[in-house]
Amino acid sequence: MRRIVIIGAGQAGLVLALGLQKRGYDVTVVAEKTADEVRYGRLISNQCVFHPALERERELGINLWDDEVQPVEEVAFNAAGGPAGTEPAIAWRQKFDHPAQSVDQRVKVSDWMTLFEAQGGEIRHHKVTPNDLDAYAAEFELVIVAAGRGPQFDALFPRNPEFSPYAEPQRAIGIAYVRTKHPMPPGLIFNLGPHGENFILPVLSVQGKVHGIGFFGIPGGPMDVWHDVTDIDQHLEIGVELLRAHFPWNKGILEEAEPAGPLEMLHGAITPTVRHPVGKLPSGKLVLAMGDTAVTNDPVGGQGANMAARAAKSYQEAILAQEDRDFDEKFMHDAFAKYWAVAQHATAFNNALLAPPPEHVLATLDTAQRVPEVAHRFAHLFENPVGYTGWLTDREVSMRYLQEATARA
Ligand SMILES: Cc1cc2nc3c(=O)[nH]c(=O)nc-3n(C[C@H](O)[C@H](O)[C@H](O)COP(=O)(O)OP(=O)(O)OC[C@H]3O[C@@H](n4cnc5c(N)ncnc54)[C@H](O)[C@@H]3O)c2cc1C
Whether residue 241 is found in the same domain as residue 347: no
**Paired strand residues for 198:** 191, 215
- Residue closest via CA to ligand 1's atom 30 equals 148
Residue 377 lies inside a defined structural domain of this protein = yes
> Are 216 and 171 contacting, i.e. CB atoms less than 8 angstroms apart?
yes
d(CA 13, CA 200): 27
292, 382, 383, best to mutate for ligand 1 pocket (most atoms within 8 Å of CB):
292
Question: What CATH number should be reported for the domain holding residue 279?
Answer: 3.50.50.60
Q: Is the CB of 198 under 6 A from ligand 1?
A: no
Residue 152: which residues within 8 A CB-CB, separation 6 or more?
A: 129, 130
Whether residue 13 is found in the same domain as residue 153: yes
Q: Is the CB of 146 under 6 A from ligand 1?
A: yes
Which of 268, 292, 314 is where one domain is finished?
A: 268
d(CA 267, CA 253): 20
> Are 180 and 257 contacting, i.e. CB atoms less than 8 angstroms apart?
yes
Spacing, Cα 8 to ligand 1 middle (Å): 9
pLDDT in tens, 304-318: 999 999 999 999 999
User: Is the pLDDT reported for residue 79 higher than 80?
Assistant: yes
Whether residue 80 is found in the same domain as residue 206: yes
Share of the chain above pLDDT 70, in %: 100
Residue 68 lies inside a defined structural domain of this protein = no
User: Is the pLDDT reported for residue 1 higher than 80?
Assistant: no
* Confidence grade of residue 82 (pLDDT, cut at 50, 70, 90): confident
Dmax (CA) for the chain in angstroms is: 67
Q: Is the CB of 291 under 6 A from ligand 1?
A: yes
Residue 17 lies inside a defined structural domain of this protein = yes
Spacing, Cα 355 to ligand 1 middle (Å): 23
Q: Is the CB of 42 under 6 A from ligand 1?
A: no
Whether residue 287 is found in the same domain as residue 402: no
- Residue closest via CA to ligand 1's atom 19 equals 304
In whole numbers, what is the pLDDT of the chain averaged over residues? 97
pLDDT in tens, 46-67: 999 999 999 999 999 999 999 9
∠ CA 198-203-208, rounded to 5°: 140
Regarding beta strands 286-289 and 278-280, do their DSSP bridges make them parallel or antiparallel, or are they unpaired? antiparallel
* Confidence grade of residue 2 (pLDDT, cut at 50, 70, 90): confident
d(CA 49, CA 72): 9
Whether residue 92 is found in the same domain as residue 182: yes
**Phi first, then psi: what are they for 181, rounded to 5°?**
-90, -5
- Residue closest via CA to ligand 1's atom 47 equals 32
Residue 316 lies inside a defined structural domain of this protein = yes
Q: Is the CB of 148 under 6 A from ligand 1?
A: yes
Whether residue 401 is found in the same domain as residue 261: no
Whether residue 87 is found in the same domain as residue 140: no
Spacing, Cα 146 to ligand 1 middle (Å): 9
Report in angstroms the alpha-carbon separations of 302 from 33, 190, 262, 350, 376. 25, 11, 24, 8, 17
Question: What CATH number should be reported for the domain holding residue 263?
Answer: 3.30.9.40
Element housing 98 (H / E): strand 90-100
Number of domains within the chain:
3
* 3-state SS, residue 250: helix
Report in angstroms the alpha-carbon separations of 94 from 33, 90, 263, 269, 379. 39, 13, 33, 29, 7
Whether residue 369 is found in the same domain as residue 331: no
**Of 1-5, 11-15, 197-201, where does mean pLDDT reach its minimum?**
1-5
Regarding beta strands 196-205 and 142-145, do their DSSP bridges make them parallel or antiparallel, or are they unpaired? unpaired
Range of the domain at 210: 73-100+172-268
